[in-house]
């Protein structure tokens, strides 16, 4: 079962939640808890970022394999994006979660979400992309964020929120019969991970945690080990840019095949 968390304090999340409710028939299991097939829907009053261990509550209603947080994305650039990203902090936990701790990622499900979003966004003026690993909350269940941004206009864009809602209901774990999908960790590049997005959309590669250039100064053997452990079935490390390549030997020593892009 996949659980989606909607924050009533987040404009985009509320809009996505409204679209989710309209898509299917939902059974009310409890106050603010709904079920439709293998999708659980949870509404909370506060912001997602600070709801550590919310998965423990969700598991009272079934076997939760992954948690998806529907949210807004903010940026000063005003970039129009539909994005997915893993959760955790390579450094200090300034926006929820725990310092130097990563949440287990869901590489195959994130890739499915990315590719489904791309289909849903055809004809829309949005960039579909990964974002790199950042912020909270902290969970013990695989989890990721799916977002629209980056301004109030996009947060309340019903078409964009509908695309995310449909993606949440249609995305699948892949794998199964698709055993040829490589699972990797991305190292280097910018916040919107353009190289890793392109690889995931056009090749049989799924990314878990992604470490951008701006976090490389804080990366050490311990954080690399945590990134590998928090990316299920990871066997590959993809490097974007010269700055990232100094970590190649560390990944190789930990048994990862390294690919320079």
pLDDT tens readout for residues 24-54: 999 999 999 999 999 999 999 999 999 999 9
CA–CA separation, 210 vs 196, rounded Å? 9
Tell me the CATH number for domain 2-170: 3.40.630.50
Please provide residue 257's backbone torsions phi and psi, each rounded to the nearest 5 degrees. Answer: -85, 130
Cβ neighbours, 10 Å, residue 79: 17
User: Which CATH number describes the domain made up of 182-260?
Assistant: 3.40.50.10700
What value does the mean pLDDT of the chain take? 96
User: Residue with structure tokens 């200090």?
Assistant: 92
Does the structure show a pLDDT above 60 at 175?
no
Question: What's the pTM?
Answer: 0.96
pLDDT value of residue 176? 44
Dmax (CA) of the chain: 52
Each residue's pLDDT tens digit, 208-252: 999 999 999 999 999 999 999 999 999 999 999 999 999 999 999
Domain boundaries, the chain: 2-170, 182-260
- Radius of gyration of the CA atoms of the chain, in A: 17
């Amino acid at each position: 079962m996949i659980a989606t968390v909607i924050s009533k304090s987040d404009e985009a999340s509320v809009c996505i939640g409204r679209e989710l409710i309209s898509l299917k028939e939902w059974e009310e299991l409890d106050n603010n808890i709904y079920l439709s097939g293998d999708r659980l829907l949870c509404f909370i009053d506060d912001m997602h970022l600070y709801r550590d261990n919310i998965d423990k509550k969700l598991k009272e209603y079934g076997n939760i394999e992954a948690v998806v947080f529907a949210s807004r994305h903010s940026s000063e650039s005003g970039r129009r994006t539909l994005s997915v990203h893993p959760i955790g902090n390579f450094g200090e936990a300034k926006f929820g979660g725990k310092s130097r701790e990563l949440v287990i990622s869901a590489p195959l499900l994130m890739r499915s979400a990315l590719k489904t979003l791309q289909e849903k966004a055809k004809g829309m003026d949005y960039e579909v992309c990964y974002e790199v690993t950042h912020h909270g909350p902290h969970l013990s269940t695989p989890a990721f964020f799916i977002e629209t941004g980056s301004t109030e206009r996009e947060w309340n864009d019903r078409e964009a929120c509908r695309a995310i809602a449909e993606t949440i209901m249609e995305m699948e774990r892949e794998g199964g019969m698709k055993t040829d999908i490589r699972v990797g960790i991305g190292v280097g590049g910018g916040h919107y991970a353009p190289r890793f997005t392109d690889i995931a959309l056009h090749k049989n590669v799924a990314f878990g945690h992604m470490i951008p250039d701006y976090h490389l100064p804080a990366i050490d053997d311990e954080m690399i080990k945590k990134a590998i452990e928090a990316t299920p079935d990871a066997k590959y490390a993809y490097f974007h840019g010269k700055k990232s390549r100094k970590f190649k030997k560390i990944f190789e020593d930990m048994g990862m095949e390294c690919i320079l892009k």
